Amino acid sequence: MSFDLASRLAERRAADLFRLRPLLQTPQGPLVQVDGQKLLAFCSNDYLGLASHPEVIRALRTGAERWGVGGGASHLVIGHGAPHHELEQALAEFTGRPRALLFSTGYMANLAAVTALVGQGDTVLEDRLNHASLLDAGLLSGARFSRYLHNDAVSLANRLRKASGNCLVVTDGVFSMDGDLAELPGLCSEARLKDAWVMVDDAHGFGTLGATGGGVVEHFGLGPDDVPVLVGTLGKAFGTAGAFVAGSEELIETLIQFARPYIYTTSQSPALACATLKSLQLLRDESWRREHLQRLIRRFREGAAGIGLSLMDSPTPIQPILVGDSARALKLSALLRARGLLVGAIRPPTVPAGSARLRVTLSAAHSEEQLEQLLEALAECWPQVQGDV
């Protein structure tokens, strides 16, 4: 008896769902070389253009010279370096919370927070469109797990009435495939009525939303009492890598004591923490990056409407073009690539069946001229896939 892996792969190819890894041969930026081809890319989450910023690179190099490259051990053994500690303090201040805790990835941060806070006898309620890491965390927690309708406070309220034990309501801040915002005021209000905690993964909101780039919680004027558990990633607007959870003294100590993804892993590179400290400074000091990004978003939506593209309700740098059929989405992506533009086709199971799309992502590193180049190419290519079935 053996695993029939070949048949599984063949089925995925036949359904136009087979995934390929593009080989990036240049640093992150609008102009890249992928698989030997020079392209203008609109598919990176480097929203503020910090991933290749000279000052961030210099901070990484200087940090490595002083602190070395590897973390060496877990934070609880001897891997918690001074740069990690300084970054946690800076992130706590940035989010307006007593403490923050670093993780190597956003996936780990979400697994850690959910599984440390709830277990058997408790309840986890999640938005149906949450990121896979949040859904996996809910399933692995051992708590009663239920998904409410997307951004629907009434659906959440119905599930809250059936909740038992400690109850954790979990949502993305910005939904990564649609680009829309969680309706946090309504969700938090319902959770408060049932004495439930709210956890927000604001991976795509930090740096891009809010008056100071503080994310979706700042955008809605909410605070720690509304959202006790706040998760952010550092590989998107911050331009580096890793993640953090921010919250109360008791929350962070609970994660340190009980979160297995934190306890049983080597810390991230201390040099990377040095780089992130610099990117956080740039994020806070250079508000022009957010302002330029907002201009690009407005112009893209205006231009796309003129072409007749089917966009989703997104005020963020994530601007999906809804195509529907996976084969058509792949064709549109290929047509754009032939014109020198890289925009990825997103297909099931990442998104629901029948909702394949091109996920355009904008960056403060894009120029207005580059955006116009994308719009011109879309105007040429979109009619060519309209009649396809």
> Tens of pLDDT along 176-215?
999 999 999 999 999 999 999 999 999 999 999 999 999 9
CATH code at 381?
Answer: 3.90.1150.10
Same domain, 195 and 76: yes
Amino acid in position 131: H
Question: Which phi and psi angles does 20 have, rounded to 5°?
Answer: -120, 145
Instruction: Say yes or no: 60 and 28 in one domain.
Output: no
Cα–Cα distance between 325 and 357 in angstroms, integer? 8
Supply the pTM of this predicted model.
0.95
Place of tokens 């290929």: 334
Token reading at 311: 């966009």
Quick one: pLDDT at residue 387?
66
On whether residue 9 sits in a domain, the answer given is: no
355 shares a domain with 220? no
Tens digits of residue pLDDT in 25-57: 999 999 999 999 999 999 999 999 999 999 999
Q: Give the strand order in the sheet containing 31-34.
A: 31-34, 37-41, 341-342
Same domain? 293 vs 268: no
Return all residues near 285 (Cβ < 8 A) that are at least 6 apart.
none
Cα distance between residue 314 and residue 334, in whole Å: 24
The pLDDT of residue 2 is 77
The 8-class DSSP code of residue 77 comes to: I
Contact assessment for residue 356 and residue 348, using Cβ atoms and an 8 Å cutoff: yes
Q: In terms of domains, do 279 and 296 share one?
A: no
Determine the pLDDT at residue 1: 57
What pLDDT does residue 48 have?
98
pLDDT value of residue 17: 87
Of the three residues 285, 308, 334, the one that is the final residue of a domain is 285
Residue 49 covered by a domain:
no
pLDDT in tens, the chain (389 residues): 579 999 999 999 998 889 989 999 999 999 999 999 999 999 999 999 999 999 999 999 999 999 999 999 999 999 999 999 999 999 999 999 999 999 999 999 999 999 999 999 999 999 999 999 999 999 999 999 999 999 999 999 999 999 999 999 999 999 999 999 999 999 999 999 999 999 999 999 999 999 999 999 999 999 999 999 999 999 999 999 999 999 999 999 999 999 999 999 999 999 999 999 999 999 999 999 999 999 999 999 999 999 999 999 999 999 999 999 999 999 999 999 999 999 999 999 889 889 999 999 999 999 999 999 999 999 999 999 876 65
Spatial contact of 231 and 200, defined as CB atoms under 8 Å apart: yes
Could you tell me the CA-to-CA distances from 323 to 74, 75, 150, 202, 331 in Å, in that order? Answer: 45, 45, 20, 26, 10
Task: Check residue 36 and give left, alpha or beta (phi > 0: left; psi -120 to 50: alpha).
Answer: left
What domain count does the chain have? 2
**Nearest alpha-carbon partner for 74 in 112, 120, 125:** 112
Asked, as a colleague might, if the bond just before 185 is cis with ω within 30 of 0, I would say no
Which residues carry out catalysis?
A: 176, 204, 236
H helices of the chain, in order, are 5-14, 54-67, 82-95, 106-117, 132-140, 153-160, 184-193, 216-219, 249-258, 260-263, 270-285, 288-307, 326-338, 368-386
159 and 200 both lie in a single domain: yes
Residue of 227, 257, 268, 243 whose CA lies nearest to 101: 243
pLDDT at 388: 62
Written as one string, the DSSP assignment of 238-276 is TSS--EEEEE-HHHHHHHHHH-HHHHTSBPPPHHHHHHH
Q: For residue 232, what are the domain limits?
A: 54-285
